[in-house]
């Protein structure tokens, strides 16, 4: 049976300045300069090197190196021999090192040259986020039998599980395929066992390997469905490979049984019932860490997303860690998964879009959470060869349908890609990135824009793949307006959008841009260069902006009250607005212990409070729930709360080659 050895520790890293340092992976060399602005973070080739001991293995076994994520291109060398090249910074790839290893117990010299240089063939090259270089996910050494479940097929797990069930059925049909490689693969037998969440077997079968694949179909009676956030129930499929009756390898995965479809008028349906998808988009980086996240960081992100009551996540704009896809399965999140085919079509990058799509689907096929595959994002922003771009999209769309007929395709269109643009009509469903009310004035334009879409394309499902506005927790105003980057305007914006979506059930999905602030080194906005501040939570995950609680009030069942403006302490007006977000039907507000008023309503409660001299203690109560803050009457506005005029909408990333 296969064994794994973790190789994360003890690497010698030779960085941009040519000096060597000892590091552990996950690691990126752009954790600081990729977040400080200037569009000048170092992009080039760096080297990781380490020794490892040849593991004990039999003559008929194979040994692989497994890399979970190396951005963006990697060349792998062992004991002086060049073994592999991989283009694509977000997916798993493996390297067969069996014939290059030294004898058992001896040291081997492993060198990985990692390159995130600018080029015209590996995506992404232009986008509103930092392309961190490095070995930023795990590295493992794998020993397996000479005849084994596939290790050379686009980094995949070697098995695919395809559940099928009608909306009203109680029995699921589950197709299980296992791909086998090695000298004795043909005629080998694969034993399949399906178990429930408690480990009890619910079905079993055997299949013989023919042309490299074993294929079995099983039935699960009285099936329990994967039913979104309310009941994300998961089964497990375990496959054992037997050669001449002797077990040689085993693989397993979890899977969920669910039906879903998308209706142009009524949106997303899960297991036969209307299930509006309302959630967030997520980038994978963090302050001072870049994309080199730990499992604990992934879990913290998921807990914050769950707290607001979201039921869907767009994992932008690339393949994310398997840790996070697993968390989505467990949490019942419906996922939009996509490749980094973004912002600008590169004619020389066509093969890279195809290989990244193959890897995305093969490596993530078994995740119950994934319901749509994304072809591209905002590809029309600066594309020059539209004919080649459209053909590339058609090829990708056909490829996805061939590889996975169970899930629809989608893509995200740029706001200026108007209603009849051909790229918006390639995929099965479509969505738009609209920032009406932020980059252009007028929140009401959302209604006008979607009205035209519905007039022209009533039978084509549409979603909102991105919408949002920037906010800094240190910027505030009692008269919030577009471009001021205040928490208060972010609240105004998102309150409008929440009401807007609530009245339009035809959206198959809506995704806030973004759950977390993230690094975009080409930006210089909001007084903090190198950042996109559209998150509901700050980059370091320490501050939940007030708009976070607006979503919690609309989506979450967890009882709470939240007083907005706690960071807006110094207020020059005598009578000030105090907003409270809550999912409770009634909220009372107190100032210095005196009742200001009691309101019944939904989601947002607005009170006007007269500020006396000095400090005023504000408290919101609803039953046993309470929250509060302290406000202070001042003579003049605090200048620290105002954004400098030169830091509003200037130097957007589209002004530069990101």
pLDDT(657) > 50 = no
* Pair 26, 282: CB distance under 8 Å: no
pLDDT at 656: 45
pLDDT at 658: 33
Using pLDDT thresholds of 50, 70 and 90, give the confidence band for residue 415: confident
pLDDT(511) > 50 = yes
pLDDT tens-digit readout, 566-607: 999 999 999 999 999 999 999 999 999 999 999 999 999 999
pLDDT(159) > 70 = yes
Determine the average pLDDT of the residues in 359-371: 98
Using pLDDT thresholds of 50, 70 and 90, give the confidence band for residue 648: low
Determine the average pLDDT of the residues in 388-403: 98
223 DSSP 8-state letter: P
Q: Which positions are annotated as active-site residues?
A: 378
pLDDT tens-digit readout, 518-531: 999 999 988 899 99
Using pLDDT thresholds of 50, 70 and 90, give the confidence band for residue 652: low
pLDDT at 646: 60
Partnered with residue 189 across adjacent β-strands are 208, 242
pLDDT tens-digit readout, 8-53: 999 999 999 999 999 999 999 999 999 999 999 999 999 999 999 9
Backbone torsions φ then ψ of 559, nearest 5 degrees: -60, 135
* Pair 583, 559: CB distance under 8 Å: yes
Among 168-177, 250-259, 640-649, name the one with the lowest average pLDDT: 640-649
Structure tokens at 453: 């879409």
Q: Which residues contact 634 (CB under 8 A, 6 or more apart)?
A: 570, 571, 572
The closest of 574, 570, 576 to 641, measured between CA atoms, is 570
Report d(CA 348, CA 354) in Å as an integer: 12
Using pLDDT thresholds of 50, 70 and 90, give the confidence band for residue 655: low
pLDDT tens-digit readout, 465-510: 999 999 999 999 999 999 999 999 999 999 999 999 999 999 999 9
Among 33-42, 380-389, 614-623, name the one with the lowest average pLDDT: 380-389
Give percent of the chain with pLDDT exceeding 70.
98
Structure tokens at 375: 């072809």
Give percent of the chain with pLDDT exceeding 90.
96
Determine the average pLDDT of the residues in 382-387: 91
pLDDT at 480: 97
Structure tokens at 638: 């605090």
Report d(CA 474, CA 486) in Å as an integer: 8
pLDDT tens-digit readout, 294-336: 999 999 999 999 999 999 999 999 999 999 999 999 999 999 9
pLDDT at 416: 87
The closest of 32, 39, 33 to 652, measured between CA atoms, is 39
pLDDT(215) > 50 = yes
Using pLDDT thresholds of 50, 70 and 90, give the confidence band for residue 644: confident
Determine the average pLDDT of the residues in 402-421: 95
Q: What is the 3-class SS of 586-606, one letter each residue?
A: EEEEEECCEEEEEEECCEEEE
* Pair 560, 505: CB distance under 8 Å: no
| pTM recorded for the entire structure | 0.97
Report d(CA 57, CA 59) in Å as an integer: 7
The rounded mean pLDDT for the chain is 96
């Amino acid at each position: 049976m296969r064994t794994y050895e973790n190789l994360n520790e003890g690497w010698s890293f030779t960085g941009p300045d040519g000096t060597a340092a000892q590091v552990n992976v996950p690691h990126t060399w752009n954790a600081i300069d990729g977040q400080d602005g200037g569009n000048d973070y170092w992009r080039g080739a760096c080297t990781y090197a380490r020794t490892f001991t040849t593991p004990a293995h039999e003559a008929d076994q194979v040994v692989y190196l497994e890399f979970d994520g190396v951005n963006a291109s990697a060349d792998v060398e062992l004991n002086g021999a060049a073994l592999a090249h991989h283009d694509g910074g977000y997916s798993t790839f493996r390297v067969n090192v069996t014939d290059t290893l030294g004898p058992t117990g001896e040291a081997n010299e492993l060198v990985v040259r990692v390159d995130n240089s600018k080029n015209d063939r590996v995506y992404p090259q232009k986008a509103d986020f930092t392309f961190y270089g490095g070995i930023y996910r795990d590295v493992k050494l794998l020993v397996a039998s000479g005849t084994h479940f596939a290790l050379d097929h686009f980094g995949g797990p070697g098995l695919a599980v395809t559940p099928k069930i009608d909306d009203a059925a109680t029995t699921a049909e589950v197709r299980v395929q296992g791909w086998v490689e090695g000298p004795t693969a043909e005629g080998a037998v694969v034993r399949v066992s399906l178990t429930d969440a408690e480990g009890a077997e619910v079905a079993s079968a055997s299949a013989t390997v023919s042309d490299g694949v074993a294929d079995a179909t099983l039935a699960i009676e009285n099936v329990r469905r994967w039913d979104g956030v309310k009941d994300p129930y998961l089964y497990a499929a375990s496959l054992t490979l037997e050669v001449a009756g002797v077990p040689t390898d085993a693989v397993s995965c979890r899977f969920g049984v669910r039906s879903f479809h998308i209706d142009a008028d009524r949106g997303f349906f899960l297991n036969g019932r209307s299930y509006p998808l309302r959630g967030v988009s997520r980038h994978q980086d963090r302050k001072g860490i870049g994309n080199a996240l730990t499992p604990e960081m992934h879990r913290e992100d998921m807990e914050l997303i769950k707290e607001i009551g979201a039921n869907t996540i767009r994992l932008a704009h690339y393949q994310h860690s398997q840790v996070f896809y697993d968390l989505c399965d467990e949490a019942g999140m419906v996922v939009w998964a996509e490749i980094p085919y973004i912002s600008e079509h590169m004619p020389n990058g066509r093969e890279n879009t195809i290989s990244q799509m193959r890897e995305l689907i093969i490596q993530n096929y078994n995740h119950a959470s994934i319901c749509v595959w994304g072809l591209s994002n905002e590809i029309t922003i600066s594309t020059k060869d539209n004919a080649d771009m459209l053909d590339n999209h058609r090829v990708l769309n056909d490829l996805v349908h061939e590889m996975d007929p169970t899930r629809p395709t989608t893509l995200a269109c740029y706001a200026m890609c108007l209603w009849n643009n051909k790229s918006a009509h390639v995929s099965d469903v479509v969505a738009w990135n609209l920032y009406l009310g932020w980059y252009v004035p007028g929140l009401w334009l959302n209604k006008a824009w979607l009205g035209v879409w519905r007039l022209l394309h009533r039978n084509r499902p549409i979603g909102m793949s991105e919408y949002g506005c920037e906010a800094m927790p240190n910027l505030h105003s009692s008269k919030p307006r577009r471009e001021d980057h205040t928490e208060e305007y972010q609240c105004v914006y998102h309150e409008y959008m929440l009401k807007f979506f609530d009245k339009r059930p035809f959206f198959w999905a809506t995704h806030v841009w973004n759950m977390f602030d993230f690094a975009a080194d080409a930006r210089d906005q909001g007084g903090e260069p190198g950042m996109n501040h559209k998150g509901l939570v700050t980059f370091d995950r320490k501050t939940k902006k007030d708009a976070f609680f607006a979503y919690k009030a609309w989506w979450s069942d967890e009882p709470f009250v939240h007083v907005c403006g706690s960071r807006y302490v110094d207020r020059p007006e005598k009578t000030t607005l105090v907003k409270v977000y809550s999912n409770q039907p009634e909220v009372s507000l107190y100032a210095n212990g005196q009742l200001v008023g009691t309101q019944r309503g939904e989601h947002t409660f607005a009170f006007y409070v007269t500020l006396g001299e000095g400090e005023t203690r504000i408290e919101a109560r609803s039953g046993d729930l309470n929250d509060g803050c302290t406000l202070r009457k001042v003579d003049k506005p605090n200048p620290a709360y105002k954004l400098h005029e030169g830091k509003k909408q200037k130097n957007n990333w589209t002004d530069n080659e990101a």
